[in-house]
Structures are given as C-alpha cells and as structure tokens.
C-alpha cells in the first residue's frame, strides 16, 4: 500500500515537471517570435543596403544644388551677376542647414497636429547613431530631407535673379523655409492632413515644385521687372555653364526621386527609370516644338525641357510605369513651353529664369497626372495603384486637386506676407544704379570674370 502510494506521488511529480518544461519551452518560443520584427510588425532593424543607397542619394540631391543648380542658373544670367547667383546658392545651402537643425526638421517631421509638427526634435534632440527611421538611421533620414529643404528655396533664386538685395535674400529664404516649406512638408510627408487624405506626391510635386514655383511668381510680381525688361534682350551669358549644370541636375535627380523610396528596392529602381524617361521625353519634345515654331532647336530650349520633364515626373515617380512616364514627359514639354512663352510675351512677367512656368506649372501638372497614371486599369500605361482606401480615378484626382489648391493658396499668401515683412526690415530690391552696375560688384565687391 505504501509502495503504491509512493510510486503514484513520484509519477505525479514527474508529470508536473514535464508540464512545466513544456510551458517554459512554449513561452520561450512565443517570446522569441514576438521579439522578431516580422512578428511584432513595429520593431525596425537597420538595413545596410537601404542605408548605403540613401547615403548615395543624399549626396546626389545636394549635388543638384551645389554645383548643379548654381551652374545652371549662373550661366543663364548676365556676366555682371554670375557670381551673385553662385553665392546665393551657397549661402542658402548654409543657412537652411542651420535652420533645419535648429527647428525645421522638427516642424516637418516630429509628432504634432494635422498642420505642423511640434518642437520635440529641435536641434535633432533624441537622434543618435542608433536611432532609426524605418530601416535607415534617423540621422540619415534627417540629412536626406535637409537636402530637399536646401534646393527648394534655392530654386526661387531664378525668379529674383539680378535685382534682389543679398540681405533680403537671406532673410526671405529663412522665413520662407520655416513658414512655408516645413509646414507643407508635414502636410504631405510628416503625417499631416494631406498624407492622411491619400495625396500622391512621391518626391515633391507639391512640397518642392509647386511651393517654389508659386513663390517665384509672387516674388516676381512683387519685385517688378528688371531694368529694360522686356524691351532689352537679356540672353544667357554662358550656355556652356548652363548645359553643364543641367547635366548635373539630371544625374542628381536619380537621388531626388529614387532616394524617396527610402529603400534599395524595386520602387527606387522604377522611380529612377521613369525619371530618366520623362526627362528625355521633355527635352526632345521641347526641342522639336521649338524647332518647328522658331526654325532652330536651341541648347537652352532642350535643357529647359529636360528640367520640365524632371519636375513634372517628380510627384508621380513612385506610382507610375514607364509608358506613363513617356506621356508625362511629352505633356510637360508642351505645357511648360507654352507657359514660358505666355509669361514672357503676353503677360510680361519677369520671372527671370522661368521658375513658375517650369517648376510651378510642371509640379501642378505632374501632381494631377499622378492621379491618372497610377491607375492599374490603363493597360500599357498602368501604374502601381491609387493611395490606400481610394478605389477610383475620380476620387484620387479629387484628393490631388485638394492638395494642389491648398499648396498654391497657402504658398501664395504666406510668401506675399513674408515679402512685406522683409521689405520693412530691409528693402527687397537694389537701386537702379546698382542693378545696372551688377550684383557681383554691388552686393559682394567681386567679379565673376576679370579680364586682364
């Protein structure tokens, strides 16, 4: 009797130990699974391939401003103003970098409300070498976005070239970055209201091109025409410089659009492919259009068409296919060509280097066409689908139109108010005698060219 009872007790103890071992093993397995990114769905791990690509893309986007845009714009102005344009690009790169560190990144990409981020990431607070944004270091994400913040106000240089005071340029660019660029970047990319609506803007049709283009139109109208415009011809002083800068822009745009995938994947590859196709289509369309209309193709026309194709494809680059990119490039060449002619010859608006008709009109056109060619039901012209929760082209186009209208309206009003504030602090425009002398000497006491 005692032996049987002892045996039973030992069996019960053994069963309990086995059960405990099973529970421990099962618990360990579940903990291991829950700790993995695939199971958790929230945890992120560094991807070295993605990181390496965005490091390259970041350098390419900065290369677009320095020296790409600087040379492109520098060649388009007259000899007496070339150095001023180069210096403006450098100065904006410097001051935007500091402002992006201090407050810009936080306004654009920290948690806030539907219209603006907060101030929790001022001076990159909380960003360490180990903190991540998706699969890349957050420090790299902040730097990549900084290069976008640099080139956007730099684009506006083309509207006030040859007639704006250097002090006014620095103050205007600083205020414009904080008041216009950063909030709209939050709307579209930082979790704001347009992103939640489903706006398709892969790399900056609204955030970069519409804002810069509309601001340029407002600046040009506020400043008034250059002395002698439009009666006096003001041809580019160095097309070799301009074509060189244009080539750098074309190459750099691969980082601009391809890098906006924020990963080394098929989206990045497709964005680069459609970017190249649209640039080529825009350049050739403009060339043949100009050839037919005026009898000869020009280098200026071809590189302007290239930029039009690049700016127009930017918002759509992550959502469309190659055939759609071809159509967008052709449309960009036609629409922007006629917009430039209309601005110059009919309206006589002195947007010195055609920023609004190329970037503004191109950005608006591309943002709307993204809502068309993202469709999966267009056969060979099909794209990758509409935004999540949107199931029809009409619904997507409605969202695109809201995004365009909001960006145009806010940018126009805010830019005008900023110009008025700047004009109170320091006058916007140089004197007539200074303009005739040239900004190289007036603003900087230097010359771009010294002939011995």
Residue matched to tokens 């320095």: 66
Percent of the chain predicted with pLDDT > 70: 90
State yes or no: pLDDT of 38 exceeds 80.
no
Which tokens hold the place of 5?
A: 């009872």
pLDDT in tens, 165-178: 999 999 999 999 99
pLDDT score for 59? 98
pLDDT in tens, 133-165: 999 999 999 999 999 999 999 999 999 999 999
pLDDT in tens, 87-103: 999 999 999 999 999 99
Which tokens hold the place of 236?
A: 């580019």
pLDDT score for 75? 98
Average pLDDT, the chain: 92
One DSSP character per residue, 84-126 reads HHHHHHHHHHHHHHHHIIIIIHHHHHSSB-SS-B-STTGGGTT
pLDDT band at 33 (very low <50, low <70, confident <90, very high): very low
> Looking at 16-161, which runs of residues are DSSP E strands?
132-133, 136-137
Residues 6+ apart with CB under 8 A from 194: 187, 188, 201, 206, 399, 402, 403, 406
pLDDT score for 374? 98
Average pLDDT of the segment spanning 315-327: 98
Residues in the chain: 452
Q: What is the DSSP letter of 427?
A: -
State yes or no: pLDDT of 29 exceeds 70.
no
State yes or no: pLDDT of 126 exceeds 80.
yes
pLDDT score for 44? 77
State yes or no: pLDDT of 203 exceeds 80.
yes
State yes or no: pLDDT of 7 exceeds 60.
no
State yes or no: pLDDT of 28 exceeds 50.
no
Residues 6+ apart with CB under 8 A from 22: none
pLDDT in tens, 265-316: 999 999 999 999 999 999 999 999 999 999 999 999 999 999 999 999 999 9
State yes or no: pLDDT of 122 exceeds 90.
yes
pLDDT band at 10 (very low <50, low <70, confident <90, very high): low
| CA distance readout (Å), 164 to 147, 224, 434 | 24, 11, 10
pLDDT in tens, 348-362: 999 999 999 999 999
Cα separation of 303 and 327, whole Å? 18
pTM exceeds 0.85, yes or no: yes
pLDDT band at 184 (very low <50, low <70, confident <90, very high): very high
pLDDT score for 43? 60
pLDDT score for 451? 72
């Amino acid at each position: 009797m005692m032996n049987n009872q002892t045996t039973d007790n030992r069996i019960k103890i053994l069963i309990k130990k086995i059960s405990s071992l099973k529970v421990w093993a099962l618990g360990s397995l579940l903990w291991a699974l829950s700790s993995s990114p695939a199971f958790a769905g929230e945890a992120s791990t560094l991807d070295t391939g993605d990181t390496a690509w965005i490091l390259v893309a970041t350098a390419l986007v900065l290369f677009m401003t320095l020296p790409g845009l600087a040379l492109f714009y520098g060649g388009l102005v007259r000899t007496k103003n070339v150095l001023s344009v180069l210096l403006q690009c450098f100065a904006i790169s410097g001051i935007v970098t500091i402002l992006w560190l201090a407050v810009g990144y936080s306004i654009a990409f920290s948690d806030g409300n539907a219209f603006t981020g907060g101030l929790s990431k001022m001076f990159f607070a909380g960003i360490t070498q180990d903190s991540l944004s998706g699969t890349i270091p957050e420090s790299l994400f902040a730097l990549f976005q900084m290069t976008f913040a640099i080139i956007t106000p730099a684009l506006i240089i083309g509207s006030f070239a040859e007639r704006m005071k250097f002090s006014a340029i620095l103050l205007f660019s600083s205020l414009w970055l904080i008041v216009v660029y950063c909030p709209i970047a939050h709307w579209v990319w930082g979790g704001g209201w347009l992103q939640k609506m489903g706006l398709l803007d892969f790399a900056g049709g609204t955030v970069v091109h519409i804002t810069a283009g509309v601001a340029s139109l407002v600046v040009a109208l506020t400043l008034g025409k250059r002395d002698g415009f439009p009666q006096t011809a003001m041809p580019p002083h160095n097309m070799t410089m301009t074509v060189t800068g244009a080539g750098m822009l074309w190459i750099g745009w691969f980082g601009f659009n391809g890098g906006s995938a924020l990963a080394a994947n098929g989206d990045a590859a497709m964005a680069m492919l459609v970017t190249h196709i649209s640039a080529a289509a825009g350049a050739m369309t403009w060339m043949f259009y100009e050839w037919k209309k005026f009898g000869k193709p020009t280098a200026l026309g071809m590189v302007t068409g290239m930029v039009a194709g690049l700016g127009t494809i930017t918002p759509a680059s992550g959502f469309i296919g190659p055939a759609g990119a071809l159509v967008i490039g052709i449309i960009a060449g036609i629409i922007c060509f006629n917009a430039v002619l209309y601005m110059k010859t009919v309206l006589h608006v002195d947007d010195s280097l055609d920023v609004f008709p190329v970037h503004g009109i191109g950005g608006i056109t591309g943002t709307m066409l993204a809502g068309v060619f993202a469709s999966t039901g267009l056969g060979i012209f099909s794209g990758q689908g509409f935004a999540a929760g949107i199931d029809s082209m009409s619904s997507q186009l409605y969202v695109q139109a809201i995004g365009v209208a909001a960006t145009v309206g806010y940018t126009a009003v805010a830019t005008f108010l900023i110009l008025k504030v700047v004009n109170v602090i320091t006058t916007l425009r140089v004197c007539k005698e200074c303009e005739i002398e040239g900004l190289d000497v007036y603003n900087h006491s230097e010359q771009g060219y010294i002939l011995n």
